[in-house]
Structure 1
Amino acid sequence: MLASLQALKVQSNTPFTIIASHRHDRPEIFEFADKIYYEPSNTAADSDEYLDIEPPTLPTATIPRWQFVLEQAKQDKVKVLLTGRNGIDYEAHREVFSTAGIRLLTGANSVGALESIDDKFAFMQQCHQHDIPVADAWRFDNTSELKALLAKHGHQPLCVKPVTGIFAQGFWRLDSSKETGEHYDSFEHLYFTEEKKISTAQFISAYTNSQMVHERPIPMLLMPYLAGQEYSIDVVCEYGEVLSAVTRYKTGKIQHIGYEQSVMDVVIPLIKAFGCDGIVSVQTKADDDGQHRALEINSRPSGGIDYTTHSGVDLTQVGFGYWLGLTDKPKLADIIQQIIPCQVRSVMVSVKIEEQSIE
């Protein structure tokens, strides 16, 4: 995204400044920024989910991170601020950012909306309230509740995942073939881990006897497993209106980029219902009848947003060009006409992390 902004600066011949901040040393981010800041780390929960290294030596945090970012943004006369993680912390103080003339992009326009997006059970309930096709889910907080749900819904293919979480953490398909007398090979599940399958009995045992769950209860969802095609949709939106979007689905290692109207028929009312604002990503999956159903909204850009640039539409440039006042408000109908369907294979790159400290 920062590379796209650097290209936008050249294309528009407009000398705006690109600022990046993070609580850890992230050279793959900072090398594309004109100016960088290291954010204060306020709690033990601030551990980096990507790096297993010590951060640079930081000064002791005396103010919350959102306030540190606000003060830096005011000094640099920032006009647009995309929060990334911890959007709720910033959203709770939207008014002070607005007073400072900063267009705040957290993924939604209220703390309540962001909380409903993060909580997949609340998300499902709100979708039902707005008649939006959504994957059904039943919450369980202990083994007895799980077993009761399995007794009621176990006649169909099922899966489990945490109430909150990203990157498919904790998602597993439940395999009951052993119980039904069909061939079952538990080692197959351990060997083909990308299938994300586990026997129902083994999941119950692992969940029941987990010391981690005992010390820190993890609310989970039991859900029907949808066997249809899964889509990821990158969306530029403003106050619940879709300004631009590109759909993609994956087969093997290949991403298929384009614009699928049947998917967007679910996404457009979904974005409106949650008042999404900024650049977000949505996941949908088709059921056995081909009906696309909402799985979740991620209130920040997806890791694969750059794939969409190969379609001829750079969503980062579309959004920030508008919010910076460089272009007119995007119209979805116009954007659709610009999308050229294509296939993309991702390539891994690396950067060297230099040892340094903060004075």
Structure 2
Amino acid sequence: MDNPANDSHHTTKTAAWLAEGQSSQRDMLASLQALKAQSGTPFQVIASHRDNRPEIFEFADSTYREPSNTVDSTPDSDELSAIEPALPRWQFVLEQAKKNKVKVLLTGRNGIDYEAQREEFDAAGIRLLTGATSVAALESIDDKFAFMQQCHEHDIPVADAWRFDNVADLKALLVKHGHQPLCVKPVTGIFAQGFWRLDTGKEDGEQYDSFEHLYFTEEKKINTAQFINAYANSVMVHERPIPMLLMPYLSGQEYSIDVVCEYGEVLAAVTRYKTGKIQHIGYEQAVMDVVIPLIKAFGCDGIVSVQTKADDDGQHRVLEINSRPSGGIDYTTHSGVDLTQVGFAYWLGLSQKPKLTDIVQQITPCQVRSIMVSVKIEEDTIEQ
């Protein structure tokens, strides 16, 4: 598949657009502004979000409010008939992107919606970055159970997982696998929501303190019997079933890997792991030996993040792919390699195609501590 940046038809495009993301949109916009200043090329930096986010938009040249595609209240029937349906998010963004001569669009958190319309964006000469190049691939990435099965099919080291949809399933799985340390997490989800370590498989038979998981929530530990009770009696689960996974708890080091990729090829990557509050940034070849075939197997495309964790034998195993940039992608700037700039410089036609071997030589291992900042929120003046 050809890179649109090499097509002379696209040289007239002058803008990069970052649509609503999870947590890294602000940092990436700042990197794009620095890239523009360094390159001397006057491309536009555009950002959009469904909410008023001044701390994000301050780093964009132009901003747009994305349609939320939700109804906040229920109007009277007469009012309802007078309301025109809002454009789908992807269509709104596409129309504005055409007007602004956008060359590259990174979709952020709503990748599947955009991916389903890839032909529309291709026809407009817009390089669409959703994390993959098909809806099927993105769906298999989001569904952690399907994802792990596909990893097995490609002989990629991956954490084992067993799905349960009700208490009976969970109890049966615990009988079969409860001899080892286990954990649970939702089939779909982000930010470790719903992840808990269980107290199975302990040699001394000691159970987690029933109060401990309420007091030290950041430890993500829970007594197994108490988890079963909470799951069995949850009104939330009964009203909206939440498919879950039971998995072996891996004891080794966990890594987050930020990856710039194109049609399954890794162009650049930085690895990091955390001890306490410190992020250790660098490039671990043993981790990348797992990540490179993973990116190829799922045809990843854009800027994505991967999580791995080592087992008791030190084998790095894949936990998941996030089909969008991680919240910590800005940490890569401290290593001497700003992955946002590496990717967008290429897709905007400002640089040659990155080579992973060259990027690795530019990485200087370092340690990073994140800090909190605040911004003043002014009156909402975002373009509609």
- TM-score normalised to the size of structure 2? 0.88
Cα distance in 2 for residues equivalent to 1:320 and 1:181 = 53
Structure 2: which amino acid aligns with 1:71?
E
- Superposed, 1:168-183 pairs within 5 Å as 168-176=192-200, 181-182=205-206
Change in Cα spacing, 1:326 to 1:183, as seen in structure 2 (3 Å) is closer
Counterpart-to-counterpart distance in 2, 1:60 and 1:211: 36
Residue 65 (structure 2) pairs with residue 38 (structure 1):
yes
Q: Provide the C-alpha distance between the structure 2 equivalents of 1:138 and 1:122, rounded to a whole number of angstroms.
A: 11
Q: 2:31 matched to which residue of 1?
A: 4
Q: What is the Cα deviation at residue 188 of structure 1?
A: 2.2
2:353 is matched with: 329
Structure-1 residue corresponding to 2:294: 270
Secondary structure of residue in 2 paired with 1:243: strand
- Name whichever of 349-358 and 11-20 sits farther off: 349-358
Alignment match, 2:41: 14
CA contact (8 A) 1:178 1:184 kept: no
What displacement does 1:187 show?
A: 2.0
One of 234, 247, 261 as aligned partner of 1:237: 261
2: distance between equivalents of 1:183 and 1:164? Answer: 28
RMSD between superposed Cα atoms in Å: 1.6
**Paired letter, 1:28:** E
The residue aligned with 2:328 is: 304
Offset, 1:281:
0.3
Alignment check: 8 A CA contact 1:41 1:61 kept: no
Cα gap change, 1:342 to 1:60, in 2 (>3 Å): farther
Which residue of structure 2 aligns with residue 118 of structure 1?
Answer: 142
Shift of 1:234: 0.2
Superposed, which structure 2 residues align to 1:146-185 within 5 Å?
146-176=170-200, 181-182=205-206, 184-185=208-209
| Alpha-carbon spacing, 1:289–1:88, altered in 2? closer, same or farther (3 Å) | same
Contact 1:159 1:174 survives alignment (8 Å): yes
Query: Offset at 1:28?
Result: 1.4
Q: What are the equivalent positions in structure 2 for 1:154-303 lying under 5 Å apart?
A: 154-176=178-200, 181-182=205-206, 184-303=208-327
CA distance in structure 2 between the aligned counterparts of 1:162 and 1:308, rounded to whole angstroms: 29
1:76 to 88, 100, 120: 100
| AA of the residue aligned to 2:70 | T
SS of 2:281 mapped into structure 1: strand
**Which position in structure 2 is the counterpart of 1:53?**
none
Q: Secondary structure at the match of 2:320?
A: strand
8 A Cα contact 2:278 2:369, kept in partner: yes
Shift of the alpha carbon at 1:182? 2.5
Does residue 24 in structure 1 map to residue 51 in structure 2?
yes
How much does 1:193 deviate? 1.4
Select the residue among 321, 331, 337 that pairs with 1:313. Answer: 337
| Corresponding residue number in structure 2 for 1:56 | none
Give the Å deviation of 1:192. Answer: 1.7
Name the SS of the counterpart of 2:51 in structure 1: coil
Distance 1:306 1:61, change over 3 A: farther
Cα distance in 2 between the residues matched to 1:178 and 1:130: 32
- In structure 2, C-alpha distance between the alignment counterparts of 1:161 and 1:36, rounded to whole Å: 36
The offset of 1:176, in angstroms, is 3.6
Q: CA deviation at 1:44?
A: 5.7
Question: Identical aligned pairs, as a percentage?
Answer: 85
SS in 1 for 2:272: strand
Cα deviation, 1:201-235, whole Å, max 9, x if unaligned, reads 00000000000000000000000000100000000
Q: TM-score, structure 1 length as denominator?
A: 0.94
Unaligned stretches of 5+ residues in structure 1: 46-58
3-state SS of the aligned residue for 1:146?
Answer: helix
Distance in 2 between residues matched to 1:223 and 1:105, nearest whole Å: 31
Q: Which runs of 5+ in 2 are unaligned?
A: 1-27, 73-82
Following TM superposition, by how much is the alpha carbon of 1:194 offset from its aligned partner in structure 2, in angstroms? 1.1
